């Protein structure tokens, strides 16, 4: 959670592994960070997003809808 204009706002963290690093991305703000653990990556993403939002506040928004889907892989 991060503070935006004095209130807490929940954002999404999408996490994937790249070698020895976990990369965390926030699709709502367009921010990303990394860490050696998932917890560290998310904490770093939270800090990066807070700093970003100080300079570039987001307009009011609705929560995104997240889902998964499968694709047949041939080979």
Report the SS3 class of residue 14. strand
42 touches 23 (CB < 8 A) = no
The tens digit of pLDDT for each residue in 39-48 reads: 999 999 999 9
The pLDDT value recorded for residue 5 is 53
Written as six digits, the tokens of 32 are 């990303």
- Cα gap 31→64, rounded to integer Å: 16
Domains of the chain: 2-55 (3.30.160.250)
Query: In 1-75, where does DSSP find H-type helix?
Result: 38-55
**Mean pLDDT score of the chain:** 90
24 touches 41 (CB < 8 A) = yes
28 touches 58 (CB < 8 A) = yes
């Amino acid at each position: 959670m991060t503070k935006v204009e004095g209130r807490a706002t929940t954002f999404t963290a999408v996490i994937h592994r790249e070698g020895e690093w976990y990369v965390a991305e926030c699709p709502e703000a367009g921010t990303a960070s990394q860490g050696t653990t998932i917890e560290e990556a998310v904490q770093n993403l939270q800090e990066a997003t807070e700093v970003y939002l100080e300079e570039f506040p987001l307009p009011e928004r609705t929560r995104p809808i997240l889902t998964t889907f499968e694709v047949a892989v041939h080979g």
